[in-house]
A and B are shown apart, each in its own frame.
Chain A
Amino acid sequence: MNIQELLWKYAEGQCSEPEKAEMERILVADESLREELRLVQEVQSALAGMEVEQPSMRFAQNVMEALPKKLYAPTAIEPLLPDTLKTLFWAIVGILVMMVALVGKVHGPVGGQLPYFDKLAASLDVVARLVPADMALYFVLVFLALTVLLMFDRLLAKGKWQVHP
C-alpha cells in the first residue's frame, strides 16, 4: 500500500495500530504530507456532507398512477373444509326446518291463535319432547361445531383474517 492510500485509510480511521503509528511518525517529519492530510480531511468532510435530493411533491402519486392496476390482485383462498361438511350443515338445517314444519302441520292447532313466533316456539317444544335428550344434545353440538368451523373457514377465505408465519 502506497503512502497516498495509507493517508486516506488514516483519515477514515481504518488503519491498524502499527499502520497508525507509522503514519503518525511520517506525518511528524513531513510537512507536505500534513498539508495533504488536511486536504484529504477537507474532501472527506465535503463528501460526507453531500445532501440527498428530493423529487417533486407529486412524485409518489405519479408512481402510483403509473403502476399496473391488477398485477397483484388479492388472491382468492380456497376454503379449507371439504364440501361434505357444508352439505352436512345444510342437511341438519333442512331436517330441523322440516321437523318443525311437520310438527306444526300434524299438530295443527299447536299454539292455537298465538302469534307466529309463539307458534314456532311451541312447535320446537314439541320437537324437543319427541327427540331423546342425548340425541338432541349431540345434534346441537354437531350443529354448533359445524357453524363455527364454516364461519371461520369463510372468514379465512375472504382474507379478513390473515395468519402470519
Chain B
Amino acid sequence: MQVNFAKDYSNTLGMDNDQHLITATLRGDQASFRVLVERYQDYVFTVANKVLRNREEAEEAAQDTFVKAYRALAGFEQRSRFSTWLYQIAWRAAIDRQRLKKLNSQSIDDNNSFLQIGDREPTPEEHLQQKNTKALVHHALSQMKPEDASLLAFYYLQEQSVKEISEITGLTESNIKVKLFRLRDALKNHLAKQLKTEVKDLL
C-alpha cells in the first residue's frame, strides 16, 4: 500500500478539471495553461531536481518541460492521465540534460545501478544531520544514481503506479518492480551498515 504524503492532484475530479483546462488552452486561453503550470510545477521540478541535482538546471529542465507540453498539447490523446504524460516529458527532458552533462562515467543504462550507493564519507555537517534514520536514508538517496532516486520519488512522492512509472520512463513493469525492490533493499542494507558504524563509534 502506497502512502501519499503529497496533495493528490490525480483523482477523477482532477482529471476532468485538467481536461477542461487543456480544452480552454487549445481554444487560445493561455491563462488556463498557467493553472496547469501552477498545479504541476512542484512535481515536475522535483522530478527534474531528483535527476539533475542542481536547482538551476532543474528549473530550466522544468521550464522546457512545460513549453514542450504546451507545444504538443494538441497531440495529447488522453490515453493516460495528463500528469503521467507531463512527467514523461519531464523525465526525458531531465535525462537528456543529465546525459549531456555526463556526470557519471558509467553508462546510465547499467542495470546494476541500483547497487550503487556511494560510500563517500559524510562531511561533518552531514554527519550532524545524520542523527536519525530518516536523514541517513535521505543521504543515501542523494548518493544513488539520479534515475534510481527518481524512480523512488515517482513511487512514493507522486504516488504513481508501477504501470504509470513504466509509461513515464519507458522501462518495463517487471523491470521497475525488480528495481524498486533492489533499490529499497540496498537502502535497507546501507542503513544497517551505517547504524552498525555508529554503534561502533559509540563503543
Chain A contacts to B: CB under 8 angstroms: 4-5, 8, 12-14, 36, 39-40, 42-56, 59-60, 62-64, 66-68, 71-75, 159
Q: How far does the alpha carbon of A59 sit from the alpha carbon of B70 in the complex, in Å?
A: 15
Q: Which of B76-84, B151-159, B162-170 contacts A (4 or more CB under 8 A)?
A: B151-159
**Majority SS of interface residues in chain B?**
helix
Interchain CB contact under 8 A, A42 and B153: no
B3 at the interface (CB under 8 A from A): yes
Report chain A residues within 8 Å CB of B96.
Answer: none
Interchain CB contact under 8 A, A59 and B63: yes
Q: List 17 A-B contacts (CB under 8 A).
A: A12-B2, A36-B192, A39-B191, A42-B191, A43-B188, A46-B134, A47-B137, A47-B152, A47-B184, A47-B187, A48-B156, A49-B5, A49-B134, A52-B42, A55-B62, A64-B34, A68-B71
Report chain A residues within 8 Å CB of B192.
Answer: 36, 39
Contacts A46-B133, A63-B66 given; indicate if A55 touches B41 (C-beta within 8 A).
Answer: yes
Q: How far does the alpha carbon of A66 sit from the alpha carbon of B37 in the complex, in Å?
A: 12
Interchain CB contact under 8 A, B28 and A75: yes
Interchain CB contact under 8 A, A8 and B185: yes
Interchain CB contact under 8 A, A14 and B138: no
Report chain B residues within 8 Å CB of A64.
Answer: 30, 33-34, 37
Report chain A residues within 8 Å CB of B28.
Answer: 72-75
Interchain CB contact under 8 A, A66 and B67: yes
Q: How far does the alpha carbon of A3 sit from the alpha carbon of B181 in the complex, in Å?
A: 12
1/0 per residue, CB under 8 A from A, across B119-153: the answer is 00000000000000110111001000000000011
Interchain CB contact under 8 A, B37 and A63: yes
Contacts A53-B42, A55-B59, A67-B33 given; indicate if A5 touches B157 (C-beta within 8 A).
Answer: no
Report chain B residues within 8 Å CB of A36.
Answer: 188, 192
Interchain CB contact under 8 A, B188 and A53: no
- Which chain B residues (38-58) contact chain A, with CB distance < 8 Å? 38, 41-43, 45-46, 49, 55, 58
Chain B contacts to A: CB under 8 angstroms: 1-3, 5-6, 25-28, 30, 33-34, 37-38, 41-43, 45-46, 49, 55, 58-59, 62-63, 66-67, 70-71, 73-74, 133-134, 136-138, 141, 152-153, 156-157, 181, 184-185, 187-188, 191-192
Interchain CB contact under 8 A, B27 and A75: yes
Chain B residue nearest to A162 in the complex (CB): B27
Report chain A residues within 8 Å CB of B5.
Answer: 48-51
Q: How far does the alpha carbon of A159 sit from the alpha carbon of B26 in the complex, in Å?
A: 13
Chain B residue nearest to A9 in the complex (CB): B181
Q: How far does the alpha carbon of A12 sit from the alpha carbon of B74 in the complex, in Å?
A: 39
Interchain CB contact under 8 A, B156 and A50: yes
Interchain CB contact under 8 A, A74 and B27: yes
Of the candidates A5, A45, A60, A72, the one whose C-beta lies within 8 Å of that of B181 is: A5
Q: How far does the alpha carbon of A5 sit from the alpha carbon of B66 in the complex, in Å?
A: 38
Report chain B residues within 8 Å CB of A40.
Answer: 184, 188
Q: How far does the alpha carbon of A147 sit from the alpha carbon of B60 in the complex, in Å?
A: 54
Report chain B residues within 8 Å CB of A60.
Answer: 34, 37-38, 41
Of the candidates B25, B134, B188, the one whose C-beta lies within 8 Å of that of A72 is: B25
Report chain B residues within 8 Å CB of A55.
Answer: 41-42, 45, 55, 58-59, 62
Least CB distance, B103 to chain A, in whole angstroms: 19
Q: How far does the alpha carbon of A71 sit from the alpha carbon of B71 in the complex, in Å?
A: 8
Q: How far does the alpha carbon of A49 sit from the alpha carbon of B141 in the complex, in Å?
A: 13
Report chain A residues within 8 Å CB of B138.
Answer: 46, 50
Least CB distance, B11 to chain A, in whole angstroms: 17
